[in-house]
């Protein structure tokens, strides 16, 4: 298994936020330093991923990570970067992707979908609205050679 760099990019800000919440409110300078350190750390990792994707272009996803969160419900967390999404690693490092296999279960539960499942050479994708009206992308990459 490779180093989980995408997971670290996504979850490091949350860990830093928890650390800052545990600090005393009077320690404003320490809180600022912690926030800055977390942002720089995340930016450096994101820049490294961006650089690697463009130095080693591929038609396949790179830095793929997959974690089964709720296997009983068929829900897993799946990260991967392709050439099109590499700039988004720098801009929006906290965008997670879930498998589209759970779309049928969500539709049966009354979830609101913005589109039907779209299948292409890269995989399957669908957009769904959360209870607050925010758009969430469910994505499953294509299984090449399987």
Give kind and range of the element (H or E) at residue 29. helix 28-55
pLDDT of residue 34: 87
For residues 81 and 83, give the distance between their C-alpha atoms in angstroms, rounded to a whole number: 7
pLDDT of residue 33: 87
**Per-residue pLDDT band at 117 (split at 50, 70, 90):** confident
The DSSP code for 72 is G
**Per-residue pLDDT band at 130 (split at 50, 70, 90):** confident
For residues 106 and 113, give the distance between their C-alpha atoms in angstroms, rounded to a whole number: 9
For residues 131 and 141, give the distance between their C-alpha atoms in angstroms, rounded to a whole number: 26
For 36-87, write each residue's pLDDT tens digit.
888 888 888 888 888 888 788 776 778 888 888 888 888 888 888 876 666 6
Spatial neighbors of 11 by CB under 8 A, at least 6 apart, are none
């Amino acid at each position: 298994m490779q180093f989980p760099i995408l997971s670290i990019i996504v979850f490091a800000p949350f860990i830093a936020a928890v650390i800052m919440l545990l600090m005393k409110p009077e320690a404003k300078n320490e809180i600022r330093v912690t926030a800055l350190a977390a942002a720089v750390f995340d930016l450096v990792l994101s820049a490294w991923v961006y650089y690697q994707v463009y130095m080693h272009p591929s038609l396949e996803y790179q830095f793929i990570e997959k974690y089964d969160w709720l296997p009983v419900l068929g829900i897993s967390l799946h990260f991967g970067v392709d050439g099109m999404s590499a700039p988004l690693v720098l801009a929006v490092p906290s965008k997670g992707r879930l498998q589209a296999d759970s779309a049928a279960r969500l539709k049966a539960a009354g979830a609101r979908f913005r589109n039907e499942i779209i299948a292409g050479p890269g995989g399957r994708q669908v957009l769904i609205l959360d209870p607050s009206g925010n758009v969430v992308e469910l994505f499953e990459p294509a299984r090449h050679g399987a």
